[in-house]
């Protein structure tokens, strides 16, 4: 899989999560669950808190904020770095010589 394709898939999945999860929490999620402390701890504060408390259950709703950050930021940055390393390992492009 090419680096460009990996980045496009990652960004598409991240955007999908950003769109679908708030829609799900607004249309289908049980409001009692969205305010339950047993739900909020793992959903909004693990591994770290990204959104403030009133927004978190609406935007995250069962997905860790790390999922979105990983898909939209970490994967593209790592893929770019990997691509740069591959290019550096190949060396400079050869110049055509005239005969």
pLDDT digits 0-9 by tens, 6-26: 889 999 988 888 888 888 888
Please tell me the distance from the alpha carbon of residue 69 to that of residue 54, in angstroms, as a whole number.
Answer: 19
Domain contains 97: no
Task: Provide the residue range defining the domain that includes 85.
Answer: 3-90
Residue 13 lies in a domain: yes
Q: DSSP letters of 68-94?
A: HHIIIIIHHHHHHHHHHHHHHHH-SPP
For residue 82, name the pLDDT band (cuts at 50, 70, 90).
confident
Q: Has residue 96 been placed in a domain?
A: no
Q: Is residue 95 included in any domain, yes or no?
A: no
Q: Cα separation of 31 and 24, whole Å?
A: 11
pTM of the shown model = 0.65
- Tell me if 16 is assigned to some domain: yes
Number of domains in the chain: 1
**Helical pair 3-27 and 75-90, crossing angle rounded to 10 deg:** 180
Burial call 74-91: b when 16+ CB within 10 Å, e when fewer: ebbeebeeeeeeeeeeee
Give CA–CA dist 3/80, Å, rounded. Answer: 7
Residue 25: its pLDDT value, please?
82
């Amino acid at each position: 899989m090419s680096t460009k394709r990996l980045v496009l898939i990652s960004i598409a999945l991240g955007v999908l999560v950003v769109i679908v999860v708030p829609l799900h929490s607004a249309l289908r999620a049980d409001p009692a669950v969205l305010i339950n402390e047993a739900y909020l701890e793992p959903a909004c504060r693990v591994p770290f808190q990204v959104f403030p408390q009133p927004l978190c259950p609406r935007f995250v709703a069962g997905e860790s904020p790390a999922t979105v950050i990983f898909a939209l930021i970490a994967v593209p940055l790592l893929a770019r770095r990997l691509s740069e390393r591959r290019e550096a390992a190949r060396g400079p492009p050869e110049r055509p010589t005239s005969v």
